[in-house]
Amino acid sequence: MEEVGTWRERLEQAALAPITKTSPMYYLWVAFLLAVIGWGVYAYSRQFQDGLIVTGMRDRISWGLYITTFVFFIGISHAGTLISAILRVSQARWRTPITRMAEFITAVALVCGALFVIIDLGRPDRVLNVVIYGRWQSPIVWDVLAITTYLTASIAYLFLPMIPDLALFRDRLAGRVSTWRTRLYDLLSVRWQGTSAQRRSMAAAITTAMILIIPIAVSVHTVVSWIFAMTLREPWNSTIFGAFFVAGAIFSGIATLIVVMAILRKVYHLEEYITEKHFVYLGYLLAAFTLIMIYGNISEYLTTGYKMAGDTEFHFRQLFLGQFAGFYWFYFVGGLVVPGLLILLPWTRNIWGVVLAALLVSAAMWVERYFIVVAGFRVPLMSYEPSTYAPTWVELSVMAAGFALFALLITLFAKVFPIIAVWEVAEDVESAEMSSSAGRLAPEPAGGGSP
Amino acid sequence: MKSMAKVLLLSVALGGAVLGLGRTADASHAKLKVVAPIELTAGDSAEVQAILRSADDGLPVAAAAVTFYMEASFGGIDGEVELGRAMTDENGAAILSYQPRSEGEHQIRVEYLTPGASEPEEATWSHSVAGATGQLYRSTAGVQIPGLNVWLLIALVSGVWAILLSVALRVIAIARAGTAAEAMASEAHRPTGAEAPAAASRSGSTAAR
């Protein structure tokens, strides 16, 4: 018990350390991100002033980097749903040290993704027209409904398991941090005292939220795919678009979680709690999804290519041999085949191998969204010359600012809130301790659960 | 003799001019009138009747083609758009079914060209269109499946938000239970009130154990 007590104290200190200690590198990093965001805001101000003419989008290819990035962010928002909700439902105990990061990625990615829809509008002042004049029959309205519901549910699902940890911060940091933080922890900990009544309420709330959030998350990316599949464009005439998008979303969500996990583990010295086991287990999930994605590609392109109806030939030529061939083959080989091999081959199945696979997958999944969007628009609807699209400095700057905002929000979150679910990790270890002989726990506390 | 010839030529020219003008004036041997409501609502259907009668005897002119025009603007270009043509019946009435779709003051011009004449007979109809209160477009295509409509979507979304509300109520229950626990702790430590914060701190930090 003494060892567990000491280990628990170390765990709490590890959770508190990011709040109490700030290195000069932290300020430099935040300043860099703010500079990128500032440049992006300037670029957007040019677009706001002059209109979408400053972008590379025109009447024939009217979606570009913005919608690509929107779909990408909505995709990675599935990290929290899979890692936290699905693994919680399946009672996979190894998940506990990484759930908080996954849940936060979900909330942040949704905020960043939703911003890109507004950025894509030439007249953002008219965004409320979707609500005022929206038609229930429109997939755009379904998308707005699904994303707002998912964002609300994700914030609730992030907040609920954080309550005991916020109470820990409230009690342990009282008088050691600024007044606003003290008040924040006091407010958000909702007077948590750990009573049995509070535990019952929290358990019921978490159970409800974790079951609810899974279908909501599936609906979100399905509806995003329907925006494409319900438009009369040859490359988007696919019945498996919904399932394909959901699989791709979970795939990119796992990859992003692995990357964020690796960075926070290194920066905040969480090696004791986030072990190689977590990377390898997530790597297995990633490998499983590479196979699902390869299957999806073959299923979609083989069936449409066999019939070769309408403009399929034009689309196949531009995708596999022409303008988008580089993107497609990078996605297929670099984003599906190579990551799968990196994880499945024993000599690269380690932290670096999994992180490299995750980086490749993240890049490839953005590229996949790009060619789905742009190549889809490039197929002519009538007998005119195919158009071309090249993003301008405005679009590139705004996109960079979006990714910088994503990084900044995660950085700030780690500075204000507990990045490890302390109570869940502790409960996991203590329950394992109950069923094991004394002294077996200490060497492998966080990853000691069953997969 | 030359003067006589000049006078004769001038007389012929003047006579021709008078006859020519007289022929143009004679072209207006039909009268056109429009009968239609002057106040409409966007989306409503109205009948615009152009009544054509002979200028000479006032009798209806049947089987004559009447054309309806309206001022319009599209893509930055202003001009007249032909709304349609209708043939007059035995009562001299040509009927156009008209459904205004934009609010404001509008004018429709009706035109009839007598065969052989160069100038058409015209009449205009000014009317005021009030804005629509509902959606004008109604899709008639597709397969209507009973029960698969907007109410199903509303029920689904409402159900999800109701469950989310129940989660929020659980959070309120947590806060209330915490307040009750704090009150009990405060009561228990009343003689030595300074210990209360420390007790609360301990309970919080060990909350999840």
Name the residue among A93, A215, A184, A155 with its Cα closest to residue A416.
Answer: A184
Highest mean pLDDT among A4-8, A242-246, B21-25: A242-246
- Whether B140 is covered by a domain: the verdict is no
- Look up the ipTM and state it: 0.85
Integer CA distances (angstroms), A369 to A2, A44, A110, A392, in order: 52, 22, 16, 18
- Whether A449 is covered by a domain: the verdict is no
| Start-end of H helices in A160-240 | 163-172, 179-188, 196-229
Task: Provide mean pLDDT across the span A303-310.
Answer: 90
Task: Provide mean pLDDT across the span A63-90.
Answer: 88
pLDDT of residue A14 exceeding 60, the answer is yes
Whole-number Å distance between alpha carbons of B25 and B15: 15
Name the residue among A128, A126, A129, A115 with its Cα closest to residue A66.
Answer: A115
Same domain, B117 and B47: yes
CB contact B204 to A (< 8 Å): yes
Whole-number Å distance between alpha carbons of A379 and B109: 44
- Whether A448 is covered by a domain: the verdict is no
Q: Work out whether strand B65-74 and strand B104-112 pair parallel, antiparallel, or are unpaired.
A: antiparallel
Scanning B148-177 for CB atoms below 8 A from A yields 150, 153, 157, 160-161, 163-164, 166-168, 170-171, 173-175, 177
DSSP B115: T
Max CA distance (Å), chain A = 78
- Whether B96 is covered by a domain: the verdict is yes
Whole-number Å distance between alpha carbons of A153 and B157: 13
How many structural domains are present in chain A?
1
Dihedral in degrees, nearest 10, Cα atoms A420, A422, A424, A425: 80
Write out pLDDT tens, residues B166-187: 999 999 999 999 999 989 888 8
Same domain, B47 and B121: yes
User: Could you tell me the CATH number of the domain that includes residue A146?
Assistant: 1.20.1630.10
User: Domain span at residue B172?
Assistant: 150-203
- Whether A443 is covered by a domain: the verdict is no
Task: Provide mean pLDDT across the span A236-251.
Answer: 92
Contact A193 B171 (CB under 8 A): no
Whole-number Å distance between alpha carbons of A272 and A7: 10
Q: Across all residues in chain B, what is the average pLDDT?
A: 80
Name the residue among A238, A253, A354 with its Cα closest to residue A302.
Answer: A238
**Residue B87 is which amino acid?**
M
Pairs of CB atoms within 8 A across A/B: 117
Max CA distance (Å), chain B = 147
Same domain, B157 and B189: yes
- Whether B89 is covered by a domain: the verdict is yes
User: HEC states along A299-348?
Assistant: HHHHHHHHHCCCCHHHHHHHHHHCCCHHHHHHHHHHHHHHHHHHHHCHHH
Are the beta carbons of A21 and A347 closer than 8 angstroms?
no
Last residue of a domain, one of B73, B101, B130: B130
- Whether B111 is covered by a domain: the verdict is yes
Write out pLDDT tens, residues B92-115: 999 999 988 888 899 999 999 887
User: Domain span at residue A347?
Assistant: 2-434
Q: Which chain A residues touch B187 with a CB distance below 8 Å?
A: none
Secondary structure of residue A406 in the 3-state scheme = helix
In the sheet with B121-130, reading across from the earlier edge strand, the strands are B39-41, B121-130, B104-112, B65-74, B77-87
- Whether B15 is covered by a domain: the verdict is no
pLDDT of residue B206 exceeding 80, the answer is no
* Nearest CB to A167; choose among B139, B164, B207: B207
The radius of gyration computed from the CA coordinates of chain A, to the nearest angstrom, equals 23
Report the gap between the CA of B37 and the closest CA in chain A (Å).
30
Nearest CA in chain B to A157: B167
DSSP A237: -
- Whether A78 is covered by a domain: the verdict is yes
Same domain, B79 and B173: no
Dihedral in degrees, nearest 10, Cα atoms B166, B172, B175, B180: -100
Same domain, B32 and B126: yes
User: Could you tell me the CATH number of the domain that includes residue B64?
Assistant: 2.60.40.10
Q: What is the pLDDT of residue B28?
A: 60
- Whether A299 is covered by a domain: the verdict is yes
Whole-number Å distance between alpha carbons of A222 and A241: 8
pLDDT of residue B34 exceeding 50, the answer is yes
Whole-number Å distance between alpha carbons of A241 and A226: 7
Assigned token pair, B52? 């054509």
Write out pLDDT tens, residues A124-144: 999 898 888 888 888 999 999
CA A245 to chain CA mean position, Å: 14
How many structural domains are present in chain B?
2
- Whether A342 is covered by a domain: the verdict is yes
Are the beta carbons of A88 and A427 closer than 8 angstroms?
no
pLDDT of residue A233 exceeding 60, the answer is yes
Assigned token pair, A273? 């709690």
Same domain, B80 and B154: no
Dihedral pair phi/psi, residue A349, rounded to 5° = -85, 70
- Whether A441 is covered by a domain: the verdict is no
Same domain, B96 and B170: no
- Whether B34 is covered by a domain: the verdict is yes
Nearest CA in chain B to A141: B153
Report the gap between the CA of B183 and the closest CA in chain A (Å).
11
- Whether B142 is covered by a domain: the verdict is no
Write out pLDDT tens, residues B113-143: 887 777 888 999 999 999 887 777 777 778 8
> Is the four-CA dihedral A197, A201, A206, A211 of positive or negative sign?
positive
Assigned token pair, B137? 């477009």
Q: Which chain B residues touch A423 with a CB distance below 8 Å?
A: 207-209
Name the residue among A68, A388, A409 with its Cα closest to residue A252.
Answer: A68
Assigned token pair, A353? 């191998």
Whole-number Å distance between alpha carbons of A212 and A216: 7
Write out pLDDT tens, residues A27-50: 999 999 999 999 999 999 999 999
Indicate the angle between helix axes A196-229 and A65-76, nearest 10 degrees.
150
- pLDDT band with cut points at 50, 70 and 90 for residue A449: very low
- pLDDT band with cut points at 50, 70 and 90 for residue B25: very low
- Whether A383 is covered by a domain: the verdict is yes
Report the gap between the CA of A287 and the closest CA in chain B (Å).
33
Q: Work out whether strand B121-130 and strand B39-41 pair parallel, antiparallel, or are unpaired.
A: parallel
pLDDT of residue B26 exceeding 50, the answer is no
pLDDT of residue A4 exceeding 70, the answer is no
**Interface-testing mutation among A171, A182, A210, with chain B (most B C-beta atoms within 10 A):** A171
Are the beta carbons of A75 and A218 closer than 8 angstroms?
no
The region that residue B77 occupies, defined by phi over 0 for left and psi between -120 and 50 for alpha, beta otherwise, is beta
Whole-number Å distance between alpha carbons of A417 and A18: 9
Write out pLDDT tens, residues A394-447: 999 999 999 999 999 999 999 999 998 888 888 877 777 776 655 544 444 444
Last residue of a domain, one of B130, B162, B193: B130
Are the beta carbons of A381 and A61 closer than 8 angstroms?
no
Same domain, B105 and B196: no
Name the residue among A142, A121, A280, A198 with its Cα closest to residue B173.
Answer: A198
DSSP B57: T
A424, with CB counted inside 10 A (0-12, 13-18, 19+), is: buried
- Whether B14 is covered by a domain: the verdict is no
Q: Which chain A residues touch B135 with a CB distance below 8 Å?
A: 135
Q: Across all residues in chain A, what is the average pLDDT?
A: 90
Q: What is the pLDDT of residue A447?
A: 41
> Is the four-CA dihedral B185, B186, B190, B192 of positive or negative sign?
positive
pTM of the complete model beyond 0.90: no
Assigned token pair, A449? 């659960």
Are the beta carbons of A400 and A408 closer than 8 angstroms?
no
| Start-end of H helices in A321-434 | 325-329, 338-344, 351-378, 393-416, 422-434
Nearest CA in chain B to A153: B164
CB contact B143 to A (< 8 Å): no
Are the beta carbons of B96 and B45 closer than 8 angstroms?
no
Q: What is the pLDDT of residue B16?
A: 55
